[in-house]
Structure 1
Amino acid sequence: MIPFSPPSITEEDIEAVVEVLRSGWITTGPVGQRFEQALAAYCGTERVVALNSATAALELALRAVGAGPGDEVIVPAYTYTASASVIDHVGATIVMVDTEPGAPIPSPERIAAAVTQRTRAIITVDLAGIPYDSRPLHDLLAGRGRIDEGLPHALGRPAIISDAAHSLGARLADLASGQIADMTAFSFHAVKNLTTAEGGALTWRADLPVDHDELARSIRVLALHGQTKDALAKSQGSSWEYDIVSPAYKANMPDVLAAIGLSQLGRYEQIVARRLELVDRYASGLEGSGVELLHHSVPGQRSSAHLAIASLPVDGPAERNRVIQDLYEAGVSANVHYKPLSLLTAYRNLGFSPDQHPHAHGFYSTELTLPLHVLLTDQDVDQVCSALVDALA
């Protein structure tokens, strides 16, 4: 069986974890600090805060921009639940926008049309690892939305937060993922290009009009029960004294996990390069089959190639699901990314319905995600292509 997305763990990764275990310090500490510094250098940003998930990073970003009851936050209808659930977590109202016809993302113009005087923030999504170009939103949103205080006031528009769970290492011209939106949330979940088993991180543009030290401090406090010192700081001599400034959350990343990420970051450019090679091989192997891959060559753009999303020449979900079963019987594990949010019970219960987002549902109805990971060989990709062509026939 060709698996869908197994993690790539090397002996170097294992040894990095063993070293932390032997050090006697396994919670948030010096290795996590080095991981944050390395990530900031890689992304070209001022600060990174490592956390236990991208979901935590998105929620803390919303809290950092002041989103809460009475506010609206815009999110695409075609995404994983984490992009939207965090809006509900902070008590704001979810405003869901449809995608463009035949595509899984909304245009900047469609997003801007959904902005009201209550809009505090916008969450964009880098689906499959393709960076969403939020730069046109800057002008479209100028002077609009709820900009009465905090970061939106300093920006003169709603804050733009990137759900970059898929796009570490992606680029738009000279901008890396992490530099494009105002704030950016990464995921290091087990299936991501770079993994810490479970984990995430939050970063922001170097030219964001904030006190970077204060923003990082406030996010760390929110991620550690509202506590003003972490365990490492409290362990320094008589520095145990601390305060709790808010009844907050627990979302820090321990050094055991940070060690995996720091190890993998050292070879991450090679990981992305191999994934891009595999996408190109899929494109060649499926040429003429009627299958359309989401990844495409755009001058100045580089995807991180996290998912091999394809649109199939089928009539709808029933035929697509038959193809998935035929692939499985041929020894290939495939998946679907994603069911639009308004197909899910939680969001139907919030008042959303599929007919509000016809383009998202149209794309979903023929979508298939093919295996994509660095353990794939060229021959594996050829086998997947052959099995897919046979299933379609």
Structure 2
Amino acid sequence: MKIPFSVPLIDADVIAEMQDTLTNTRWLTSGPKVRALETEIQKFTGGEFALCVNSWTSGAMLILRWFGVGNGDEVIIPAYTYSATALCVMNMGATPVMVDVKEDFTIDTEKMRAAITPKTKVIIPVDLAGYPSDYDAIKEVVNDPAIKSLFVPDSDKQKLLGRILIFSDAAHSLGATYKGVSSGLISDVTVFSFHSVKNITTGEGGGIVLNLPQAFDNEKELAFLRILSLNGQNKSAFEKNQIGGWKYDIIDQGLKVNMPDLCAVVGLAQMRKYKDELLPDRNNIFHYYVKAFSNYEWAIIPPFKNDGTESSYHLFLLRIKGFTEEQRNKMIECISERGVGVNVQYIPMPMLTLFKSKGYKMADYPITYDLYKNEITLPVYNGLTEEQLHFVVDAVIESYKTVSEKKE
């Protein structure tokens, strides 16, 4: 038996939606299917203001551009995340300030507080594997009068907010809740990912949900972001294509990051059954692993539910107690030889060439390294059968035994 690490859900509903686009609407770039997907995101999250873009990274850059983040600014992020969290900051000319995480993989808010300077404009907590960060603690920090007094606004949006922006990297957490609040409504701005390996996919894509405080008109900000996502053009190609709709204006220096309908159709078909079918299925797969590995002292179960906070069950981050990085790597080789695809989420950024060259040092993030060195990500995706899950579990257990015996 061969079990890949991730397989996107392409079923009859997705194919029918694609067929409708190709034969009926006959529109490929941003149009009615994107708007329909945005509506489904609004319905699912409870957020009224959603915008689809062509990747999480471009959505993040769009938000930073909208907020006026640029040269000389700092954005605080956890060291344990995929590199896009840092690259979106660097692409806008700002500096990512990395801080260590806690044992639950989420940003350490005390270290975050210590990293804030007058240059800090944004904090990007990461809901790694779909488990939300401690947003109450983050909000307490940014609203602390002493922290707010450090904030130096350089743009109209920054002046209106009057504090550091909380922008959730929710690439993994569509469907998660924080103390009963849906991901999308927890922070000022949320950006989801619809990459091919995510819970909902458009192949490549992302979704922005605005939840700005009362000082902002979220509807107007969304309309402006839509324009910014189209090179600052005040009409989409679909609108210009209507009879008599040719005239347009460029009102700001935007980016070209809109999602095409051709991608949106895949996510649209999936979103319509995410709440009732796809998310519960992922929950069941995750809990199969929880039950199976809870019997073993060496298996460290990842966080998934606590006091009204619940994961989106995007990834199962199994950790192997007492293993070194080298032993973990050998265990992955053994699992792979048994026909199971696994992964590591993620190689910490300070270990990667780009970030090492910019002076980031792994020694500054000890918890991040401790979590990474013995972590193995197991397959979680719709369509996995109980027989396949049993096969995965057996492969992991037997591989642990193989490596442990060599250790002894």
TM-score after normalising by structure 2 = 0.92
* CA distance in structure 1 between the aligned counterparts of 2:206 and 2:131, rounded to whole angstroms: 18
Amino acid at match of 1:174: G
The answer to which of 152-161 and 45-54 deviates more is 152-161
Separation in structure 1 between the aligned mates of residue 149 and residue 57 of structure 2, nearest angstrom: 27
Alignment of 1:258-277 (within 5 A): 258-269=264-275, 270-277=277-284
Superposed counterparts of 1:217-236, under 5 Å? 217-236=223-242
Secondary structure of residue in 2 paired with 1:124: coil
1:310 aligns with 2:312: no
Residue by residue over 1:187-206, the C-alpha shift from the partner in whole angstroms, topping out at 9 and shown as x without a partner, is 11111111111111111116
Confirm whether residue 161 of structure 1 aligns to residue 161 of structure 2: no
Q: One-letter code of the match for 1:127?
A: L
Instruction: Tell me how far apart the structure 2 counterparts of residues 271 and 221 of structure 1 sit (CA, whole Å).
Output: 33
What is the alpha-carbon distance in structure 1 between the residues aligned to residue 380 and residue 331 of structure 2? 18
* Conserved? CA contact 1:135–1:181, under 8 Å: no
1:346 aligns with 2:354: yes
- Conserved 8 A contact 1:141-1:158: yes
1:38 aligns with 2:35: no
Distance 1:194 1:390 in 2: 32
Offset at 1:103? 4.0
**1:48 counterpart letter in structure 2:** A
Moved more, 71-80 or 354-363: 354-363
* Structure 1 stretch displaced more, 16-25 or 177-186: 16-25
Match of 1:127 in 2: 128
Percent of residue pairs bearing the same amino acid type: 36
Is 1:146 matched up with 2:148?
A: no
Are the structure 2 counterparts of residues 226 and 151 from structure 1 closer, same or farther at C-alpha, using a change threshold of 3 Å? Answer: closer
Task: Compare 147-156 and 1-10 and name the one that shifted more.
Answer: 147-156
Cα shift at 1:145:
4.2
Give the partner amino acid of 2:279: V
- Partner Cα separation in structure 1 for residue 215 and residue 66 of structure 2: 13
Match of 1:216 in 2: 222
Q: Which residue of 1 aligns with 2:306?
A: 298
Contact 1:46 1:206 in 2 (8 A): no
Change (3 A) 1:374 1:295: farther
Q: Higher mean Cα deviation, 189-198 or 199-208?
A: 199-208
Structure 1 CA distance for aligned equivalents of residues 90 and 278 of structure 2:
35
Q: Closer, same or farther in 2 for the Cα pair 1:305/1:297, shift >3 Å?
A: same
Who is 2:291 aligned against? 284
Are positions 1:253 and 2:259 aligned together?
yes
CA distance in 1, matches of 2:354, 2:113: 26
1:1-393 equivalences under 5 Å are 1-22=2-23, 23-100=25-102, 102-142=103-143, 143-148=148-153, 149-205=155-211, 207=213, 209-269=215-275, 270-289=277-296, 290-393=298-401
Per-residue deviation, residues 2-50 of structure 1 (Å, max 9, x unmatched) = 1111111111111101101112212111121111122112111121110
Asked if structure 2 preserves the Cα contact closer than 8 Å seen for 1:182 and 1:208, the reply is: no
Q: What CA distance in whole angstroms lies between the structure 1 residues aligned with 2:48 and 2:90?
A: 29
- Give 1:392's aligned amino acid: Y
Report how far residue 236 of structure 1 moved: 2.8
Q: Is the 2:294–2:301 contact (alpha carbons within 8 Å) kept by the matching residues of 1?
A: no
Post-superposition Cα deviations, 1:237-295, rounded to whole Å, max 9, x if no partner, equal: 32211122344321111112111111111110221111111111101111232111213
Q: CA deviation at 1:208?
A: 5.0
1:280 and 1:295 map into 2 onto residues whose CA distance is 12
**In the TM superposition, what whole-angstrom CA distance separates every residue of 1:109-163 from its partner, at most 9, and x where no partner exists?**
2212211111100011010011223222222222144342444433332001111
Q: What's the offset of the Cα at 1:344?
A: 0.7
Structure 1: gaps of 5 or more residues: none
Mapped partners of 1:65, 1:255: distance in 2: 27
Q: Deviations over 1:365-390 (max 9, x none)?
A: 11110111112112222221122111
Q: Cα RMSD over matched residues?
A: 1.6
Q: What is the aligned length? A: 392
* Contact preservation (8 Å) 2:189, 2:212: no
Change (3 A) 1:194 1:81: same
Structure 2, unaligned runs of 5 or more = 402-408
Instruction: Single out whichever of 287-296 and 30-39 deviates more from structure 2.
Output: 287-296
- 2:244 aligned partner, one-letter code: S
The answer (yes or no) to whether the contact 1:7–1:195 under 8 Å persists in 2 is yes
- Pair 56,145 (structure 1): closer, same or farther in 2 beyond 3 Å: farther
Tell me: CA distance 1:214–1:21, structure 2 relative to 1, closer, same or farther (3 Å).
same
Output the CA distance in 2 between the equivalents of 1:152 and 1:378.
51
Aligned equivalents of 2:64, 2:243: Cα separation in 1: 36
Farther off after superposition, 179-188 or 245-254: 245-254
- 8 Å Cα contact 2:6/2:381 also seen in 1: yes
Does the aligned pair in 2 maintain the 1:7–1:191 contact within 8 Å?
yes
- Stretch deviating more after TM superposition (225-234 or 84-93): 225-234
